């Protein structure tokens, strides 16, 4: 939970919006969730709380992308398309050596032939190509790395400790025209096995600033090598940390998204209320 909260908190545009919310209801505490599930639930709750306020729609504007799934027949003129929004993308680690390779695998075209032919209402079963294409990447792009897979030999889930490289600057132009480049903002790391383990994260709060490691109550500055290179995984050692969630921010919008808002300027009434609450709590001690 702390890794997810730190990642979201250090996206200044989101923190600024939360400060501006006039709804005083508290976001309820969540039970134990996977990091990706917790992020989605927390953002959904924030989006709900922002309805009717001046910052309504902030979650969608920051985190929501758009993709299209399609099936295109190869021998007749028939194509189906479906557009949908996504809050993040889950990418395969097993069989992929890098983030770019996994994105290429995600957007690959599969052939539907033989017993897998695509059924059309007017033409019957047809050979076709099936795939996914990105229409829009959000300003804040979150990738969930699939570090758990089902092993058919063991008939059980296993953790994938394979080496998986990811860049400090990611070019998404090959996957969506006009997407441009994104800079790495957060690396959430998992160390341990399936049944037990520990999450911690590395965050670069603003463009060009130093990386910071957040490991529960232990917080300290660190190097790019420690934040990126040392979290590629590999070697099959569960004691070695491996990246689990990556957060990238669109480079051209990074200065507007990654900053540190001052709550006293954004919402002084909220600060005064919190101070009064703290004073009342101290009186009860």
pLDDT given for residue 36 in this prediction: 79
Q: What is the pLDDT of residue 237?
A: 64
Residue extents of the structural domains in the chain = 2-265
pLDDT score, position 19? 84
Per-residue confidence (pLDDT) for residue 8, from 0 to 100: 85
pLDDT digits 0-9 by tens, 77-90: 999 999 999 999 99
pLDDT beneath 70, residues of the chain: 22-34, 236-239
CB 10 within 8 A of CB 185: yes
> For the chain, what percent of residues have pLDDT higher than 70?
94
pLDDT of res. 143: 97
Domain 2-265 maps to which CATH number in 1.10.10.10, 3.20.20.70, 3.40.1390.10, 3.90.70.10? Answer: 3.90.70.10
Task: Say if residues 164 and 97 touch (Cβ distance below 8 Å).
Answer: yes
| Cβ neighbours for 79, distance < 8 A, ≥ 6 positions apart | 70, 71, 72, 73
The two beta strands, 197-203 and 211-215, are antiparallel
Q: What is the pLDDT of residue 24?
A: 45
Strand 169-171 versus strand 128-136 pairing type:
unpaired
The pLDDT score that the predictor gives to residue 26 is 46
């Amino acid at each position: 939970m702390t890794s997810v909260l730190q990642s979201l908190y250090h996206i200044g545009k989101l923190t600024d919006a939360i400060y501006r919310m006039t709804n005083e209801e508290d976001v309820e505490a969540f039970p134990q969730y996977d990091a990706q599930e917790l992020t989605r639930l927390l953002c959904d709750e924030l989006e709900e709380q922002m309805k009717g306020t001046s910052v309504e729609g902030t979650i969608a504007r920051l985190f929501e992308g758009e993709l299209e799934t399609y099936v295109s027949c190869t021998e007749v003129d028939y194509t189906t398309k479906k557009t949908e929004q996504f809050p993040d993308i889950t990418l395969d680690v097993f069989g992929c050596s890098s983030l770019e390779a996994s994105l290429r695998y995600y957007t690959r075209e599969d052939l539907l032939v033989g017993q897998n032919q695509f059924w059309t209402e007017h033409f019957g079963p047809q050979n076709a190509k099936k795939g996914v294409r990105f229409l829009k990447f959000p300003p804040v792009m979150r990738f969930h790395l699939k570090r758990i897979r089902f092993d058919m030999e063991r008939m059980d889930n296993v953790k994938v400790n394979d080496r998986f490289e990811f860049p400090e600057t990611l070019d998404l132009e090959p996957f969506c025209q006009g997407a441009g480049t994104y800079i790495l903002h957060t690396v959430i790391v998992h160390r341990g096995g399936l049944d037990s383990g520990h999450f911690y994260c590395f965050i670069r709060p603003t463009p060009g600033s130093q990386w910071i490691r957040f490991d529960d109550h232990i917080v300290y500055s660190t190097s790019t090598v420690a934040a990126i290179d040392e979290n590629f995984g590999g070697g099959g050692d569960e004691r070695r940390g491996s990246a689990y969630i990556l957060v990238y921010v669109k480079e051209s919008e990074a200065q507007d998204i990654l900053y540190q808002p001052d709550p006293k300027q954004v919402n002084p009434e909220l600060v005064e209320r919190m101070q009064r609450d703290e004073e009342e709590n101290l009186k009860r001690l």
